[in-house]
Structure 1
């Protein structure tokens, strides 16, 4: 019985060694220098024209059509609110944040922004002018010939 156990363990170890040896890099010999400095990829250019982008689907969080570089977004400060808070939109010309941002999980209205909606960049992102890594084949329903209600 003991011999069978040794043979089984030896066979399993041999098989594991052969299987692992095929995709494992060598531990000795000429290797690329991991500390070598490589050129950094260029930074993306953010769209800063303040033109509101059309949303790709209902309930999509709108993208940020301006630069947010240097904006402080922490528990103590939220620079977005200096323009998008209800009290400031008339002077800034910015759109007011959605009323859904004033609701709790239980749909109870609050006097100020809900803590779960306070960190804007959880959902909203600045629009960058880059070539996409993967092509987009999205087609809007209106382009597919879907007619809106009451359009007949």
Structure 2
């Protein structure tokens, strides 16, 4: 009694696997998120170059954009290479803008001699500037009181 039942289960499993393999080979009408068939390699997207002039801020309190590449910068819990130029102790020698004093305040508002831990990861607020097209429609109007 067990043998016919086992044979039936194996037959069913085999037919499901073979049928599934046949279905997986057909990609008619299936496209990737980039709009090309899944079995084709999409063309690489255009790379937008870093802009070196400073962009204007569009609203009060907007964090400044970064006018240089940060691709090779180490910013993690052990090191922050931004501080090698922008910390108040180095900025004058390097000709770089200094950090705002708000970066040296802890959560209670106490002034520190070093950057606050809450401001350690610069790229949470500051991003490299690039003249790239908008990804989605945007009707933003800059503030008149920048």
TM-score if structure 2 supplies the norm length?
Answer: 0.68
* 2:42 paired residue number: 38
Task: Note the C-alpha offset of 1:42.
Answer: 2.1
SS at structure 2 position matched to 1:112: coil
* 2:108 paired residue number: 106
* 2:23 paired residue number: 28
**Structure 2 CA distance for aligned equivalents of residues 141 and 92 of structure 1:** 32
> Where in structure 2 are there 5+ consecutive unaligned residues?
1-21, 31-36
> Where in structure 1 are there 5+ consecutive unaligned residues?
1-26, 147-152
**Structure 1 CA distance for aligned equivalents of residues 59 and 77 of structure 2:** 30
| Number of aligned positions between the proteins | 116
Single out whichever of 51-60 and 61-70 deviates more from structure 2. 51-60
TM-score if structure 1 supplies the norm length?
Answer: 0.66
**Structure 2 CA distance for aligned equivalents of residues 108 and 43 of structure 1:** 43
CA contact (8 A) 2:50 2:129 kept: yes
CA RMSD, Structure 1 to Structure 2 (Å): 2.4
SS at structure 2 position matched to 1:83: helix
CA deviation profile, 1:79-117 (whole Å, cap 9, x unmatched): 111110001111111110111111111111111001110
Task: Note the C-alpha offset of 1:138.
Answer: 3.2
Q: Write out the 4+ residue segments of structure 1 that deviate beyond 4 Å after TM superposition.
A: none
